[in-house]
Amino acid sequence: MKRYIAVLLVMALSPAAALADEAYGVVTYDLSFPLSDLKDYIDNESWRGFGLEGRWLRTDNISIGLSLHWNTFHAKSSELLEIENGNISGNQYRVAYGVPIHVTAQYYLRSPLDNPDFIPYVGFGVGTTWIKRRLEVGVFAFEESSWRFGLAPEAGFMVPVGYINYLTFTARYDYAFKSGDEPAYSYWGLRVGIVATR
Amino acid sequence: MRMRIIGAAVAAVAAMAVGSCAPDSGYDSISDYDVVVTLYEPGVDFRDFTTFSVADSVLHLGNPDGEDDGIPEVIDQLILDQIEAEMIRAGYTLEPDPESNMPDVTMLAAITVTTWKGYTPGYPGYPGYPGYPWYPWYPWYPGYPYYPGYTYEYDTGTILIDMADNSTIDETEESVEVIWTAGINGIVSGSSTTNQSRIVGTIRQAFDQSPYLKKD
């Protein structure tokens, strides 16, 4: 896996194969919704998230890049915790962070080089995701964090808006594989942001 | 113009990065931090037990020799009385003469207080800077003042309640099997009335979250 990521990184960052120096910087605000085991732990949407991406156009319709997103989920709970042969009661504060760092690829159904009014695209990211889970009960806190293999398919569109270059809207699904005793975590979200081109 | 947009984008990213941190839990009352843990011995059928007794004193773990540890005596009696009340509420019968008639189980209690100390460092002041007249997005910044560090100290109290199965008493080993344990922890309030109220409530919670103890 590390070898594949290294190859993708070289392809993405190689200036020799860049097409007309077309590069994009993307900044997004992320709204995310937990799924499966993450939803069992925190059944609250995340209004605290952002993303940073760099993309380099390789052909008329394909770009490759790097992305980093940060999503914070948090919730209070007073439900009785079940443990082996017992229970714990007390006010809980639950926090989970999802930080995917991916190599990405995007396919634009209309080439940005043609300056269309509307550019739908699909994309896929693969890389590593840092997950941190924190549970506070009373004056006690328990934390667990790990780096996992992660995937993120997405679909969205870009709309040219003059000097900013583009507004972008994306729907994305993030999946972080299980690590040790910790289950897999997944969430989906909506990203809205700006795309600046060089 | 492009620099303004880039500057605004950088500021927006910085704001979102800071905003993406988890907020404070919002728990601001001392009682919000009370925790009750209960554990039971698997395979034990509590319906086998009917009579009980309560130890006549609470063991002070921090001062087993009986020296003054700052815990008022009224707290000890409150704990013993509440345990007795909860056991009766759960359907058990108090054995009036445990020395002559061994009850099925005996309730034991212990208490300790732990003092926590810490220091939060301050930070030096940061001078402000003048605005740039040709960039209206960068106004004069006043800076922020020096903030001194401070020390803090607080006490947490822990109450332990054990239910001992008297049929397992081993006089040779001086041991007995504990079949149910409750651990209660919370921040000690400066108000004795509040502490007593919370002790009553958390001991009740320990029994409420252990429905297998109840006799139907």
Domain residue ranges in chain B = 30-213
Task: Answer yes or no: are the C-beta atoms of B180 and B38 closer than 8 Å.
Answer: yes
Determine the residue of chain B that is closest to A49 in CA distance: B20
Residues in chain A within 8 Å Cβ distance of B34? 90-91, 138
Cα–Cα distance, B28 to B44 (Å, whole number)? 40
Given a contact cutoff of 8 angstroms between Cβ atoms, the answer to whether A57 and A119 are in contact is: no
| A74 to chain B, closest Cα gap in Å | 7
* Contact assessment for residue B20 and residue A132, using Cβ atoms and an 8 Å cutoff: no
Amino acid at B104: D
Asked if residue A35 lies in contact with residue A187, where contact means CB atoms within 8 angstroms, the answer is yes
**B156–A90: do the CB atoms touch at under 8 Å?**
no
Whether A89 sits inside 8 A of B12 (CB atoms) is no
Sign, CA torsion B206/B209/B213/B215:
positive
What number of other Cβ atoms are within 10 A of residue A139's Cβ? 16
* Facing B25 at nearest CB: one of A72, A93, A97: A93
Residue A39 has pLDDT above 70, yes or no: yes
Q: Please give the Cα distance from A133 to A21 (Å, whole number).
A: 41
C-alpha distance from A14 to closest chain B C-alpha (Å): 25
Query: How close, in Å, is residue B201 to chain A by CA atoms?
Result: 12
Q: How far is CA A159 from CA A109, A141, A164, A167, B6, in A?
A: 13, 45, 10, 5, 19
Mention every residue, 6+ apart, whose C-beta is less than 8 A from residue A1: A149
Q: Is B35–A138 a contact, with Cβ atoms under 8 angstroms apart? A: yes
Query: Does domain A2-197 bear CATH number 2.40.50.140?
Result: no
ipTM of the complex: 0.77
Cα-to-chain-centroid distance, residue B18: 31
Residue A173, C-beta contacts closer than 8 angstroms, at least 6 positions apart: A152, A153, A154, A186, A187, A188
Is residue A37 a contact partner of residue A184, using CB atoms and an 8 Å limit? yes
Give A143-183 pLDDT, tens digit per residue: 999 999 999 999 999 999 877 689 999 999 999 999 888 89
> Which uninterrupted H or E stretch holds B208?
helix B192-208
- Per-residue model confidence as pLDDT tens for chain B (216 residues): 566 666 666 677 777 777 777 888 888 888 899 999 999 999 999 999 999 999 999 999 877 666 667 788 899 999 999 999 999 999 999 999 998 999 999 999 999 988 887 777 776 666 555 555 544 444 455 555 666 677 778 888 999 999 999 999 888 888 899 999 999 999 998 888 999 999 999 999 999 999 999 986
The candidate with the shortest Cα–Cα distance to A44, out of B28, B23, B31, is B23
In chain B, what residues touch A27 (CB-CB under 8 Å)?
9, 12-13
Q: Which residues of A touch B16 (CB under 8 A)?
A: 29, 49-50
Chain-chain contact of B22 with A71 (C-beta, under 8 angstroms): no
Q: Which of B13, B20, B40 sits opposite A85 (nearest CB)?
A: B40
Instruction: Give A110-122 as a DSSP string.
Output: S-GGG--S-EEEE
**Which residues of B are less than 8 Å from A29 in CB distance?**
16
Residues from chain B that touch A137, judged by Cβ atoms under 8 A, are: 35
Nearest CA among A133, A169, A166 for reference residue A51: A169
The pLDDT value recorded for residue A129 is: 96
Kindly list the domain boundaries of chain A, sorted by start residue. 2-197
Residues in chain B closer than 8 A to A163 (CB atoms): 1-2, 5
* CATH (one of 3.20.20.330, 1.10.760.10, 3.30.160.670, 3.40.190.10) for B30-213: 3.30.160.670
- What average pLDDT does this structure show over A7-35? 71
- Find the closest chain B residue to A51 by CA distance: B13
Q: What is the DSSP string of A77-138?
A: E-PPEEETTEEEEE-EEEEEEEEEEEEEEEEESS-GGG--S-EEEEEEEEEEEEEEEEEEET
